[in-house]
Amino acid sequence: MLTATVIRRLEALGIISQQGKRINGLFRLMEDPILWYEAYANIYSNDGAITKGVDNTTLDGFSEKRVKSIIQRLTDGTEK
């Protein structure tokens, strides 16, 4: 479950962007594994979840290993 702080930050994103303000701390949000699991829980049952993405994978291959890999690539600034 997302922490109250993360929930508040996520809720504020839309408001801040509509105001044309700079969004700070977005990268820190993306480093939270729970955010990825929550996002997956919200979309895995959609028909599009089995559509291959640009990396030729689908959401049915979602795992803890994949989340760690995504976060590591974000941190390192690498593609693979």
Alpha helices in the chain (DSSP H): 4-18, 26-30, 33-43, 64-76
Q: Judging by beta carbons within 10 Å of its beta carbon (0-12, 13-18, 19+), is residue 79 exposed, middle or buried?
A: exposed
Q: CA neighbours within 13 Å on the CB side: how many for 31?
A: 9
- Domain positions in the chain are 25-80
23 backbone dihedrals φ, ψ, rounded to 5°? -95, 115
Whole-model pTM: value is: 0.70
Residue 39's pLDDT is 87
pLDDT one-digit tens code per residue, 25-75: 888 899 999 999 988 888 887 777 778 888 887 777 788 998 999 899 999
